[in-house]
Structure 1
């Protein structure tokens, strides 16, 4: 039996290798008059895979763009991948030619074909299922936005703040739970499924990430029987658990509707006019709602975690943010109506997305027919990546791109500055949300969650780098407290964080150094080189290479900053007491549900449905 198993596995691998060689040879046929895209040569069969680090490969892809140009290709295990490093080229191809650039590549590690199964809207090919679900998504997002997202972010912000007060070292968990609870409420009107939703998101993320499930690295294992392929058995159980979870959540809202106690939700919108959506199978509505829940559960938490990272390593901006929130909100938490009056908060959020984009490789498209661009041939079937890490580091658009600098969005003179400041800066329609017909439809949800979530954290807390012997805190009286921040806050008036004088003069009031230069001159940030000192003549061999602490990221498709130690303290004890009291009152009224276990003991370990190993 063992011999037969080995023969079967070897045969499957041989067929897979021969097919990939055949596909690779077809991709080398270039029409007359066109040139092949430049790129690394790679190795037989595996292509450039051995040249890629397991962690932060997006930096390598961006570095290759500096060598081969802003549009280049590389072979990764027999598939042609095309990397786009500028917003212009991404727009020219993925938006202007959306008719042929709007498909999604096949994800081999999923049991059901992501392109045709109508289960995963963000991963569907351009077909009837994609059309009807996208229409449904547009309506539920528009209705949620009109209803101020039912104030769910504002409700859950209080619970998040109490969790941060009680266990600041578990900040990662608190931020992810905040997003997951808001998303659960939006999807189904309840928050008790938040832990389950996070787990569904984690498992699906493993299944779709190139560096996640083994089936994406070695696709032939998905053709083996389950008993011979643990990764396939894991995926089958994941998909079954996901389906059952979505079915239960739909059933819960159906019961709530019958009992006339259903809270506003996307599922209720679906059920209220079930027949008009044209869904083709029993649980398509459950998947259409559930996938929006999964899509938001972890992606929005990543930039919130980046916010903590940025404020610890760039402390000069936190007092400015504190001053704006204190002036606009006073002794109450931020609410949706504060948005026009919080341009610096919006700038901080926008810069978090640019500085450390949550999907740095971009969500890939697939080209459905041969194409050419500026004399270069792009073959059908190429996987197209709008490389967000590189796009967000265009030095012409983002001077000093490695620095976290929210002032680039609110100070006249920067290429990214826009008016009116009651609207800009904004994350809506930024490159992080994709291009053409594949732009993310949950942009407004992400925008609201981060405005309320990050705004609430900054309103209540201050944060500092943890002191140790090798990394002492920078002490600068210029930005030592929030009182001084007002002097540095670009001439803040009562309702705007930018003075009208600077708006009128384009930021050129005088030849004196700008506020930004005064502040940044006091600090070194990750990636900068200290000024040369005549007393320091150390040999290069004596200098220790320092790893950028802000680049300790997860390896999956969504790049999350890994947890790190820092000090998180309330700025005002009276505010902390007020938040605790408000949360306690809400809990007494039944506004805050405890997390629910859906699969029994140990999350269904050893059972047909339950949590998989992540």
Structure 2
């Protein structure tokens, strides 16, 4: 137990270290940034939620690359796609580590969760497994699961439209649960399913910058557990997620012994575990991370899609017309996606207009570097602020407006690409991150969003509600949840079938899907 005198000395030592850091001479050109206060720097100026809005405000004032001081730690914010790619992608061997976050990295995840791992051998071995499970050829093999789950979503939306948030979450989670662990989700109330969804939401919460003071003042982790409620909380969360990951893995292992295991991420890992050089727990965290990456993000994006269609019904009509021209009276499938550039443009614009991980996931520099005359010391943390990057007027003219035509018309040379049978697509799009830390599940997520957008356009009308006098009720353009990943707060809108025939077609497809389910 540390005495009161010991704690006093510890705090004095911390103050000396922070003052020393703040007085270190800088090399290279002075990097602009907001002024702070002694010891804490800009810590108190960073909002506890939606910090990317403040970062965007500072980028407008200080330029596309500026510095912050967070309790003596050096941070740099990047606000254009070019600068982020120059550093985080082109110099990926230097800029692919993660800042050590005592709560999320160690106390919660025992330094096993790939999202929070530094750029080390364990991260590289886990990334190799992720790549093999999610590369395009593998992602194509999961399309039947996505088609099946999308039919379930359409039927649920028609039956109980007010529960749209639940249906989107169940769609995204159901897809990844099936391909991750080989099991279907029937009701969304299965015990293991509810547990892993909760684990994912906890990770989003604790990974939010500023969620825990110990992440800004790491010395606090040395407080005895009995005196540190945050350490007690981390212990409970860690025990829950580890026991769940082990149980899910053991269930697949048992199914393999019985000869009844369906193809899944976990089955592939267990069959080739020696080659991946990962322990049971290391592999379990890799697959758990893929589940976390592929669930909340896809669901959040689709809720933003609904918001966009309610606010911009002209674009809903355009994608409906395109789907009707290609698929006619039948439900569209993956073979139709190359002929649906407007569908792909709408979902890409949704991700630009309302990015899910709006503040990006910070990278850490592992070696001194220089860029445009600026010097960056090893250990500096870099934030690719997606909110600002997606609002760069040079790359995205009229950036605050929802304009999918920027991906479809040669009038927008910054973003238009040919052929439209291939472009627009989401490959290497900044919403998935940068360089070696780009989201590993982007191939699966892109397919999930494309097929769901096309099928919603084919089957449903999304529209704002009207009052008793026929007046259209307002809905907020930006009222989003707090957290690592964000989505629109619940808003009321109508979901109806485009025609009785299409509602019946959804019901028939659901019956057929249930009887002809994949093994």
TM beyond 0.5: yes
Give the SS at the match of 1:73: strand
1:63 maps to which of 57, 60, 64: 57
1:230 — aligned with what?
229
Distance of 1:225 and 1:471 partners within structure 2: 62
Q: Map 1:195-344; keep pairs closer than 5 Å.
A: 195-213=194-212, 215-216=214-215, 219-279=218-278, 281-344=279-342
Give the SS at the match of 1:112: helix
Distance of 2:426 and 2:159 partners within structure 1: 31
Distance 1:133 1:30, change over 3 A: same
1:523 — aligned with what?
none
1:443 — aligned with what?
442
Give the SS at the match of 1:300: helix
1:174 — aligned with what?
167
Q: Map 1:404-483; keep pairs closer than 5 Å.
A: 404-414=402-412, 415-468=414-467, 472-473=471-472
1:79 maps to which of 73, 79, 89: 73
Give the total of aligned pairs: 512
Moved more, 337-346 or 203-212: 203-212
Q: Map 1:19-34; keep pairs closer than 5 Å.
A: 19=14, 22-23=17-18, 25-26=20-21, 28-31=23-26, 34=28
1:550 — aligned with what?
477
Residue 96 (str. 1) matches residue 90 (str. 2) = yes
1:391 — aligned with what?
389
TM-score by length of 1: 0.78
User: Contact (CA 8 Å) 1:115, 1:124: kept in 2 or not?
Assistant: no
Residue 26 (structure 1) shift: 2.4
Distance of 1:229 and 1:243 partners within structure 2: 21
Distance 1:295 1:113, change over 3 A: same
1:357 — aligned with what?
355
Distance of 1:565 and 1:263 partners within structure 2: 39
Deviations 1:61-102 (A, max 9, x none): 011111111110112233222100111111222122222211
User: Contact (CA 8 Å) 2:132, 2:138: kept in 1 or not?
Assistant: no
TM-score by length of 2: 0.92
User: Contact (CA 8 Å) 1:24, 1:79: kept in 2 or not?
Assistant: no
Residue 332 (structure 1) shift: 2.9
Larger radius of gyration: 1
1:164 maps to which of 157, 160, 173: 157
Deviations 1:567-588 (A, max 9, x none): 1111122222222233244445
Structure 2: unaligned runs, 5 residues or longer: 186-191
Distance of 1:561 and 1:267 partners within structure 2: 33
Residue 303 (structure 1) shift: 1.0
- RMSD of aligned Cα (Å): 2.7
Give the SS at the match of 1:80: strand
Q: Map 1:37-52; keep pairs closer than 5 Å.
A: 37-52=31-46
Q: Map 1:558-597; keep pairs closer than 5 Å.
A: 558-587=485-514
User: Contact (CA 8 Å) 1:111, 1:235: kept in 2 or not?
Assistant: no
Residue 448 (structure 1) shift: 0.7
Structure 1: unaligned runs, 5 residues or longer: 475-525, 527-547, 593-614
Distance 1:216 1:14, change over 3 A: farther
Distance of 1:555 and 1:91 partners within structure 2: 27
1:380 — aligned with what?
378
